[in-house]
């Protein structure tokens, strides 16, 4: 497991509880958000998460009529109970006509503001730092190791997604680019 999600963020996060239904190749389970942003969320769940795993999510807010259906990747996880994980959204809405994460987040944020006295916007969160942020090099190494595991298990598509994520953190990395070309050639 990684550092528990202590990282600096370039995008706003909102403290809000949304219901989350997660799906992967092993099953379906429920969770709840602790915070939410246009590019990801932090969840609390009873199920242990694996860094690098790809999941499909359906997020629902009591204040927004439509649900968000999106694919994501577990980017950090803490095993201590209650289990927490950080999920990075991997793209727009997955269902035809589904909302994209950014506009859905803005709708939740606007609805949260309307729910407070005088329509004042709900404050965005301050990230609690419990320890040093994970260095990008360490995250790239962990993602690379997970990609190797996935290739060994015959999951080339998932490995490709993880290698692309690592390349986003380390653009121009010769080894990662070679691994991506090797996967594409197979």
Residue 176: φ, ψ to 5°? -65, -40
- CB-side neighbour CA atoms (13 Å) of 142: 18
Q: What is the pLDDT of residue 161?
A: 77
CA angle, 136 then 77 then 12, to 5°: 65
The whole-number average pLDDT for the span 47-66 is 90
The whole-number average pLDDT for the span 44-56 is 90
- Fold entry, domain 14-119: Thrombin, subunit H (2.40.10)
pLDDT classification of 173: cutoffs 50, 70, 90? confident
pLDDT classification of 129: cutoffs 50, 70, 90? very low
- pLDDT tens, 1-25? 344 444 444 567 788 899 999 998 8
- Residue identified by tokens 């290698």 is 163
Domain boundaries, the chain: 14-119, 136-185
Q: CB 182: neighbour CB atoms within 10 A? A: 12
- Quick check: 41 pLDDT over 80? yes
pTM above 0.75, yes or no: no
Q: How far apart are CA 37 and CA 169, in angstroms?
A: 19
- pLDDT tens, 92-101? 554 555 567 8
- Quick check: 109 pLDDT over 50? yes
- Beta strand 14-15 with 83-93: parallel, antiparallel or unpaired? unpaired
In whole numbers, what is the pLDDT of the chain averaged over residues?
Answer: 78
User: What is the percentage of the chain residues whose pLDDT exceeds 70?
Assistant: 77
């Amino acid at each position: 497991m990684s550092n528990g999600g202590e990282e600096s963020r370039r995008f706003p996060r909102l403290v809000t509880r949304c219901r989350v239904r997660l799906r992967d190749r092993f099953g379906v389970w429920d969770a709840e958000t602790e915070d939410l942003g246009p590019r990801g969320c932090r969840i609390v769940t009873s199920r242990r998460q694996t860094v690098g795993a790809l999941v499909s999510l359906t997020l629902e807010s009591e204040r927004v009529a439509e649900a968000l259906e999106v694919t994501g990747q577990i980017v950090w996880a803490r095993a201590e109970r209650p289990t927490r994980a950080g999920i990075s959204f991997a793209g727009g809405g997955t269902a035809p006509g589904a909302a994209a994460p950014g506009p859905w987040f803005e709708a939740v944020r606007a609805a949260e503001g309307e729910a407070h006295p005088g329509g004042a916007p709900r404050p965005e969160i301050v990230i609690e730092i419990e320890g040093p942020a994970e260095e990008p090099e360490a995250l790239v190494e962990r993602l690379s190791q997970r990609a190797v595991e996935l290739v060994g298990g015959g999951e080339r598509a998932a490995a490709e997604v993880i290698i692309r994520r690592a390349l986003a953190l380390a653009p121009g990395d010769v080894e990662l680019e070679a691994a991506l070309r090797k996967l594409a050639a197979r």
